[in-house]
Amino acid sequence: MPPSVTVVTKLKVQLKLSIARLRMVQQRDEQMGKTARRSMAQLLDAGKIDSARIRVENIIRSDITTELHEILELYCELLLARAGLLEGHTCDPGLEEAAKSIIYAAPKTEIKELQQVRALLAEKYGKEFVLSAMENTDQKVSEKVIKKLSVTPPREELVQGYLEEIARAYGVDWPKRPKDLGDPPEYVDNDVGNDADDSPSGDQAQKGPESPLPADSKAAQEREALSRETPPRSLGQNSPLHINLPSPTTDNPRPKVTLNSVELKPSQKMVDAGIAKKSDDKNSGTSVDELAARFAALKR
């Protein structure tokens, strides 16, 4: 007589099927989302803003559902990886959030395999475990799952952010921006050069020794040269440092990279070379003339 199949064995099979189904649904929704975004860009280009604002809510809801499926897929993988802990009569604390989140979300999704997982978890741990998960009496269900399953309409900022990102991705000028006319043409005074050539002392000024400049004029020229110094244009392309922006989500459609304020201190080599001031007088401040003099010394 063959051995009977245990609940844990059935649960492992259904978890694998659920993971495969969740991935297929995510790929399907991703392809449908691309088509919907392209149609939304055409509406923005045609100036049908009111229609676009209403229809973009379907895209937002689809993205929220995709994010929910990603969370449930991770919970299924967690239960499958810790299948040895499912042998006990009570749910292990490390699996309680995953199990109760799946029980809470399974009836509200289209994934039939998840509903089978829910039924097997109910058979394993009893009805009271399922009721506590459905009512979330012990606050073990993930807050992200509860938020993704809420039916509240999207915020106005989220709708605006989605429309702007779709317009930017498909090259649509929305909202309308003023056209860039470029930099104004430079004005060149030709009379200045002619006057210099006509002057009797013009050749002598070019050929003769350069007259020493006053100290104030020299400092002004060095400050002007310092202000004109810019980093090379190829720094952004060939730099070995690259920052990957986080992927946009419904909670943050336009992610940005922020740096926490960090106090930077000069190294001992910089102090010895005279580039940075010592710690004794770091609060005294540095004049513009001293910075210009140091920059000129470095250029030599």
Q: What is the pLDDT of residue 30?
A: 95
Dihedral-angle region of residue 92 (phi above 0 means left; psi in -120 to 50 means alpha; beta otherwise)? beta
pLDDT tens, residue by residue, 213-271: 555 677 777 777 766 665 555 555 555 555 566 667 777 776 665 545 444 455 666 55
**Chain centre to alpha carbon of residue 291:** 37
- φ and ψ at residue 260, rounded to 5 degrees: -70, 150
Span 128-149, average pLDDT: 95
CA–CA separation, 108 and 69 (whole Å): 11
Q: Is 182 exposed, middle or buried (0-12, 13-18, 19+ CB in 10 A)?
A: exposed
Contact 19, 76 (CB under 8 A): yes
Q: What is the pLDDT of residue 285?
A: 47
CA–CA separation, 106 and 116 (whole Å): 9
- What CATH number belongs to 7-169? 1.20.1260.60
> Is pLDDT above 80 for 5?
no
* Residue ranges per structural domain of the chain: 7-169
Say what percent of the chain tops pLDDT 70: 63
Q: What is the pLDDT of residue 89?
A: 87
Q: What is the pLDDT of residue 175?
A: 87
Q: What is the pLDDT of residue 41?
A: 94
CA–CA separation, 138 and 156 (whole Å): 33
**What pTM does this model have?**
0.63
pLDDT tens, residue by residue, 18-71: 999 999 999 999 999 999 999 999 999 999 999 999 999 999 999 999 999 999
pLDDT tens, residue by residue, 60-115: 999 999 999 999 999 999 999 999 999 888 999 999 999 999 999 999 999 999 99
